[in-house]
Structure 1
């Protein structure tokens, strides 16, 4: 999915390839849902074992976040060794259910989406650990709710907690400060200002929005607008599959119409459908674009390529005082039903929410799930802007899950429908209808 120097985050945010295979894997598990005994439901312990012990972690995360957290946990507990088992995202997602159901199941496993893991009884209900450690008091509800689901895994956003986050990503808008200054543009404070900036950049011969849509990342643009117009609560209801929710909303309609209109006006690169996200990031870093919709995972890369020359903001609303929303998801780990050391796994998850872990998460490209006020970013850096945007989004409880993960096939639908929309082969109404049809099928 990505190389270290060209980031396209490998978990839920990697919309084109991470979401679909995972939830289609129950057929690979003989007797899924009946073969495994229920996870133990007795008392849990928050004590770290005194003897020598190895904790196994399976993941497709290769930004270095989990490895760095593991090293810090080992230093804190010298008797613990963490065996980090990395698999490239495509193979990881395809084989995850088999991995979780095997006799050699890991103690922790990255989840890209809940998929069939809950319905097949492959992961443990973490509610006992939530109570033991107080995770619900330490983390905003919008952070934990992304990994809650009903027992059949169909209703998202409520029910039991099945995975715990190790760090969050935030999608917003990067901008080229040098190009903006040349055009007389500052970071916009309203959506109308943002639209005016697009027209100004186009008139000056610059690329208004750099975009790579080979893997469907036009969805970043669409969802950012939809969330801003509809508000976090309405967008989240659709993302979680709440009955009767619809994307044929004022925000969904405007997001689709603006995306189509911006393509027609030449605000997007002509070759967007043939460029992937790393390619668009590279082009932006070379000065080929005023704005770039992308996630915080690329912040360090952009900062390195454009030191002190890039900024970041959450897409503004209709007014400067409107609540700020942001698309976000987490690196989240589940404890498999067959984990050998579930209590130790939970202790590692709890460490991920500590002040010590916060700086590690931030330094490796993710926002900490707690203690965000303690992280240090170089003044004037894009990382400092990201931290500021993250604080604004969380103050208003404005974090919205990725639309790509609302159904097992939504990532594919967003990709194909988005390519047709900006390619001029479909209308905004057809785009919205395609998304809602996929949603209906996935949540019926």
Structure 2
């Protein structure tokens, strides 16, 4: 996600490592893309005894979700055993292309979308083209276009966002929005913000009351706040066009310069966690859940809220600064791929399809995660009501945008490093956007 969650921001060099590894080792990197099996079947029972290896990066409630789904799938198909390995997001993303070349590597894995991971895996012929399974299971009809395109590349690998399926989403969503500590706001008699202006007014009041307005970490090159703010300034069309390769759109057009300016202002106002430059994501998150900081831009699912926390913390998806329309970063939390070396691709595809099922959505909702793809019952908890309202609003406004770092294999590095430089006073918002443009232009030219 990259971007995405702690794991989406933890390792700034993963994109570059992925590119280098595929370029150096993958067979046929410049040839036409990989193909799937010539014949496919949804008859899992007929496959006989099958063991599949799965590698993913999910922890906390997300780990509970995948473990539960594995158990449900194995109960439905007693002939199938799925052996799961959990890895750190940065480790998995930076080594997945090498793992997929190993005969003992995973059959199924959660990759990162975009050029830095999924694109290099597909171009390297390391994962299957899933078009026949999309036809078999009706994914083209089931999955909204804005989500489906996040898993597609043309087979000449010149274009992202269209062409063939190389990965699938899951029946849950990862959004970037603002979490708030409802208990603290109530104690301070501050209303829950409904707009960016409200949020900044509340932040000033929180600061005046001697508390930290925004929980923030700096060691990891945290981009959640930056990308969350970008969606308040840039249109969904411009952000989508930039990520999916349009040369007519610049980083400034996407709202990035305004987002960087706002984040820089918040730092100057003393609204970010004191000494955030030396604080890592996990420490920052633990401190936030312990009451240190009132607001926090983060990825849904990353806080791992459970029990009473689901009513202690709320979630808001702010409308754009210039109007009522809501635009937000939204995607499945990882792209599910099938290894080109998988000996039982039909069974693997059935499992991927199961991860998009209504059962999968309901399991996510029951665990406090954000369901997607299917309408299910959501527990009446504060944070989940806010997350459900956010997905409904984004659906209604067709306001989903992909993670910005998908726009080039090295964009995550550029965003992370320049966010750190910006908050250290060593670059400007305008130069930040110029660095982003330069990175993507070089990639598109190549």
By the TM > 0.5 criterion, same fold? yes
Correspondence 1:71 to 2:74: no
Deviations 1:1-20 (A, max 9, x none): xxxxxx9554x565646544
Q: Is the 8 A contact 1:210 1:291 kept in 2?
A: yes
User: What residue in structure 1 maps to residue 421 of structure 2?
Assistant: 420
Q: Which of the pair is proportionally richer in helix?
A: 2
Correspondence 1:318 to 2:321: yes
TM-score normalised by length of structure 1: 0.89
Among candidates 183, 187, 192, match of residue 197 of structure 2: 192
Cα 1:375/1:23, change in 2 over 3 Å: farther
Q: Is the 8 A contact 1:103 1:338 kept in 2?
A: yes
Give the match's secondary structure for 1:117: helix
Give the match's secondary structure for 2:121: coil
Alignment of 1:268-417 (within 5 A): 268-301=272-305, 303-304=306-307, 306=309, 308-318=311-321, 321-364=324-367, 366-371=369-374, 373-377=375-379, 379-417=380-418
Q: Is the 8 A contact 1:118 1:152 kept in 2?
A: no
Alignment of 1:24-35 (within 5 A): 24-29=20-25, 31-33=27-29
Q: Is the 8 A contact 1:13 1:402 kept in 2?
A: no
Alignment of 1:3-402 (within 5 A): 8-10=5-7, 12=8, 16=12, 18-29=14-25, 31-33=27-29, 38-40=34-36, 42-50=38-46, 51-62=48-59, 63-64=62-63, 65-112=65-112, 113-166=117-170, 167-217=172-222, 219-249=223-253, 251-301=255-305, 303-304=306-307, 306=309, 308-318=311-321, 321-364=324-367, 366-371=369-374, 373-377=375-379, 379-402=380-403
Q: Is the 8 A contact 1:359 1:374 kept in 2?
A: yes
Deviations 1:326-374 (A, max 9, x none): 3444222112222111111111111111111112233456433321x31
Q: Is the 8 A contact 2:10 2:90 kept in 1?
A: no
Give the match's secondary structure for 1:214: coil
Per-residue deviation, 1:41: 5.0
Per-residue deviation, 1:418: 0.7
Q: Is the 8 A contact 2:169 2:336 kept in 1?
A: yes
Per-residue deviation, 1:260: 1.1
Q: Is the 8 A contact 2:106 2:339 kept in 1?
A: yes
Deviations 1:176-231 (A, max 9, x none): 112222333222222222222222222222212111121121x2222222222222
Per-residue deviation, 1:129: 1.2
User: What residue in structure 2 maps to residue 3 of structure 1?
Assistant: none
Cα 1:15/1:241, change in 2 over 3 Å: farther
- Consecutive unaligned residues in structure 1, runs of 5 or more: 1-6
Deviations 1:118-171 (A, max 9, x none): 211111111111111111221211212111112244422112111001233111
Deviations 1:275-303 (A, max 9, x none): 122222222223222210011123433x4
**Worse-superposed segment, 314-323 or 162-171:** 314-323
Cα 1:209/1:343, change in 2 over 3 Å: same
Cα 1:298/1:31, change in 2 over 3 Å: closer
TM-score normalised by length of structure 2: 0.89
Deviations 1:302-338 (A, max 9, x none): x457452211111232367323423444222112222
